[in-house]
Amino acid sequence: MELLVYCLLFAAGFGGGFIDAVAGGGGLITVPALLAAGLPVQVVLGTNKLQSSFGTSMAVWRYAKAGLMKTPGLKIAVVLAFLASAGGAYVVSVLKQDLLKQLIPWLLATVAVYTALNRKFGIQAGERKMSPVLFAVIFGIALGFYDGFFGPGTGSFWTLAIVALLGLDLKGATGYTKAANLASNVGALCIFLQKGSVHYGAAAVMIGGQLIGARLGSGMVIRKGAGFIRPVFLTVVFAMTVKLLWEAWK
C-alpha cells in the first residue's frame, strides 16, 4: 500500500474510534476506508474487527475507571456475546445475507424514529422492565450472534434495549454497550484470524488512530453525559440507516 493510503486509514481509524466510543457505528467510516484501499471483503471484515477491538478496549477501560461497568448481569452478557459472535462469524460463511441486508435498515430506522420522537430517551435513568440476568442472556446471545454474522447497528440495538428494558441513562448504556461490543468483536475476530482474513499492516495503522479517537470520544461521554450522546447517537443511526438502505435496494 502507498503512504497516502495508510494516512487515510489512520484518519479513518481516528474517526471510527471517536464515533464508536460515543454512540457506536464507527464502521460507517472504517469499513468503506478499508474497501477503498482495495482489500477483499472478507479481509476488510477481519481487519475491521481487529482494529475496532483496540479502540473499543480503550473506551471500555476509560468507562470502567469512571464506574460505568457495574451494571448487574454485564459479565454474563459479555461471555455470551463472545461465544455467540464466534458462532455468527462461523455461520456467515455458509448462509446468504440478502434478507438481512434488506431487513436491518428498517429496524435501524425504527430505532432512530423512536429515539427522535421520545425526547427524554436516555436523558435520565428510567424504570427497569426486565431482570438484568435474563436481559444479559437474551441479548448477549441474540446481539452477539448478529454482530458476528452481519454487524451493522449492533451498538445502536444494544443502547436502545438497555435504555428501554434496564432503565439506564445513555451514559450508563454506553458503558454496557461498549463492554458487550468488545466481547462480540473479539469473538468474531478469533474466527477471522483462524481463516487468515486480516491485513496486519492496515490494522496496525488504524489501531493508532482508533486509540486516540476512542480516548477522546470516551472522555467526552464521561464529561458531558447523555446530553452529548443523544445527538451523536441519532446522527449515526440515521446515517447508517440511509447507507444500508442504499446498499440493499440500489
152-185 pLDDT, tens digit per residue, is 778 888 988 999 899 998 888 889 999 999 999 9
Residue 96 is predicted with a pLDDT of: 58
- Which one-letter amino acid corresponds to residue 74? L
pTM: 0.81
* Cβ 209 vs Cβ 54: under 8 Å: no
Residue 112 is predicted with a pLDDT of: 66
Give φ, ψ of 92 to 5 degrees: -60, -25
Residue 144 is predicted with a pLDDT of: 95
What tens digit of pLDDT does each residue of 189-239 get?
Answer: 999 899 888 999 999 999 999 999 999 989 888 888 767 777 877 787 778
Residue 141 is predicted with a pLDDT of: 97
Residue 43 is predicted with a pLDDT of: 86
Residue 250 is predicted with a pLDDT of: 62
Residue 245 is predicted with a pLDDT of: 75
For residue 147, pLDDT beyond 80: yes
pLDDT band at 101 (very low <50, low <70, confident <90, very high): low
Residue 45 is predicted with a pLDDT of: 83
User: Which grid coordinates belong to 11?
Assistant: 484518519
How far apart are alpha carbons 138 and 90 in whole angstroms? 20
Of 216, 222, 215, 211, the residue nearest 69 (C-alpha): 222
Of 103, 125, 106, the residue nearest 114 (C-alpha): 106
**How many independent structural domains does the chain possess?**
1
Residue 68, domain extent: 3-249
